Amino acid sequence: MKKSLNLSYVLLIFFPITIQAQLYWKDSFSSSNWKNNYDMSAEQNFRHIPNGGVDGNGCVEVSVVKNTHHGGSIKYLFKEKLGFEPEEVYAEYSVKYDSDMREYGGKAPGFSGTYDRAGWGNRPGYGKAGWSARGTINCDNQPYTTNRWYVYHTYTNYDAPNCPGSNNYRNCNPFPYDVSNPRSQPHASTKTWGSGLNWGNKGDMQFNEWYDVKQYIKLNTPGQNNGILRVWVNGQLANQYTNINFRRTDELKVFAYWFNYYNGGSNTIRETGHLRIDNFKLYGPDGDGEPSQVAVTGVSLSPESINLNVENTTNLNASVSPNNATNKSVTWSSSNTSVATVSDSGIVSAIARGTAIITVTTIDGSKTDTSTVNVTDPDEEVTVTLSPIQDAYLQGSTRNNNTLIRVEKDNRLGYLKYDLSTISGSIISAKLKLKCIGDRGNGIVNIGLGNTNNWTENNISNSNKPTSTAVIGSLNSNYSIGTTYTWNLETNALTNDGKISLIITQTRGNDIAFASKENSATAPQLQITYVSGRRTAIPDTKEIEVYPNPFTSSVTLTLKDNHDFDTLELYGLNGKSYVSKTINNSDKKLVLEDLHIRKGLYFIKLTGKNTSRTIRLMKN
Half-sphere exposure of 155 (CA within 13 A, CB side): 18
> At 507, which amino acid appears?
T
Nearest alpha carbon to residue 445 among 397, 390, 525, 513: 513
Q: Are strands 390-395 and 412-419 parallel, antiparallel or unpaired?
A: antiparallel
Say if CB 173 and CB 188 are below 8 A apart.
no
Q: Are strands 412-419 and 144-152 parallel, antiparallel or unpaired?
A: unpaired
How many CB atoms are closer than 10 A to CB 317? Answer: 11
Looking at CATH, the fold of the domain delimited by 383-532 is given as Jelly Rolls (2.60.120)
- Tell me which CATH code domain 23-283 carries: 2.60.120.200
Q: Give me the pLDDT at residue 496, please.
A: 56
Q: Give me the pLDDT at residue 9, please.
A: 33
Say if CB 243 and CB 186 are below 8 A apart.
yes
Check whether domain 544-619 has CATH 2.60.40.3080, yes or no: yes
Q: Give me the pLDDT at residue 574, please.
A: 58
- Tell me which CATH code domain 298-379 carries: 2.60.40.1080
Q: Give me the pLDDT at residue 326, please.
A: 77
Counting every residue written for the chain, the total comes to 620
> At 289, which amino acid appears?
G
Strand ranges in 249-311 using DSSP code E only, listed in sequence order: 256-262, 273-283, 298-302, 305-309
The series of mean pLDDT values per 10 residues for the chain, 620 residues long, is: 36 34 85 90 92 91 90 92 91 93 89 94 95 91 88 96 93 94 94 93 92 95 95 92 96 95 82 93 68 77 88 86 84 89 85 89 92 79 88 95 95 94 78 93 94 94 93 94 93 73 94 92 88 45 74 85 84 76 86 83 80 77
pLDDT tens digits, 212-238: 999 999 999 999 999 999 999 998 899
Residue ranges of the chain assigned to CATH 2.60.40.3080 = 544-619
Q: Give me the pLDDT at residue 265, please.
A: 73
Cβ-Cβ contacts under 8 Å for 451 (sequence gap 6 or more): 466, 467, 468, 469, 501
Q: Give me the pLDDT at residue 530, please.
A: 80
Q: Give me the pLDDT at residue 13, please.
A: 33
Residue ranges of the chain assigned to CATH 2.60.40.1080 = 298-379
Q: Give me the pLDDT at residue 432, please.
A: 96
Q: Give me the pLDDT at residue 266, please.
A: 75
